Amino acid sequence: MTEPDNATQTLHHHLQIPLDAIGQRLDSVVAKLLPDYSRAQWQSWIKQGALSLDGKTQTKPKTKLLGGEQLEVCATLVERTQAAPQAMDLEIVFEDDALMVLNKPPGLVVHPGAGNPDGTLLNGLLHYHPPLEQVPRGGIVHRLDKDTSGLMVVAKTLKAQAHLVAQLQAHTVARVYDAVVVGKMISGGTVDRPIGRDPRQRQRMAVLSAGGKQAVSHYRVKEKFRGHTHVRVALETGRTHQIRVHMAHLGFPLVGDPVYGGRLKLPPQMLQAFADFLRQFPRQALHAGQLTFTHPTTGQSKRFKAPLPDDFLSLLDILRDDIEDHLAQKSPEAFEEDDLDHGVEVHWVTDEDSL
């Protein structure tokens, strides 16, 4: 095995396919033999004709092996990330030579795309750490929706990226979110329902009765309000809009969700100021607050937490104030503001548990 040629940015390998690989796919076997690069990256290189078996170029990742073949790899190491670096304030929670963990604010798009050609997290990452230009997708291995806040891990090397992608595919990365949903949820549970494109509205995702990709979300109740619930959701899989779709499927859409939220529902006799705040809440109330994974270099488990952002905290305060106001209206003489505030705040501040 040889090292990458940094001058020409090519990768050279000569090795023999194991005899016990008979009947297995080329892309699968190569990804196991050379795990510094993801299976998706090997599939791309195979399609480009960068791999040969016994001197014959292979262009189909699903090619079945006989075992014992001589494998030669001559591949372009990486493609340059096509995005312009742009200065941006990034909240870096952790960083070393292999990766960084950041706390994404709401309103920030992760990748450039239609309607968002620049000003994205990728642009900011390339300005903050220019070598990310040589890592596919700028090292981003998972995404958050534009209006979802919270923790993301970014790989700084190809090896780290392949390792983290493999963990995501194996469902060993733990991601826990806070959400505020519309409706009074009684207890927690698990949603195990496949998600795919909504056949009636292709820009949306939906729970499908047939087809789709497996999606599993575990949820628990954290705090109950008069007409809303603060829940914590742990993802077993990471499908597009998974939490938003699963909660809406249960009949508890996220507050502020413009796609899956449906008609706004308010508890009876809510003060106008509180109702206006809920109507004007600018995003889905969803925050990726906890992230746990195995470090690609050290092999140690790393766990990170990000506090709830100000708008999320304000939403919770409004819903707590609504309870106080409702109790005061029902029985003013029995209402003790200090006692109620104390009980709620102590529970919230000292609660460090997780799923």
State which amino acid sits at residue 51: L
The residue from 27, 145, 257, 322 that is catalytic is 145
Q: What DSSP string describes 241-290?
A: THHHHHHHHHT-PBTT-TTT--S----TT--HHHHHHHHH--S--EEEEE
Q: Encoding tokens for residue 122?
A: 């990728």
In this structure, which amino acid lies at residue 75? A
Strand partners, 302: 293
Q: Which of 152, 154, 103, 101 is nearest to 131 (CA)?
A: 154
Task: Give one DSSP letter per residue of 284-326, joined into a string.
Answer: --EEEEEEEEE-TTT--EEEEE-PPPHHHHHHHHHHHHHHHHH
- Structure tokens, 292: 């746990």
- Residues 20, 67: contact at Cβ < 8 Å? yes
**Known catalytic residue: 317?**
no
Q: Which residues are catalytic?
A: 145
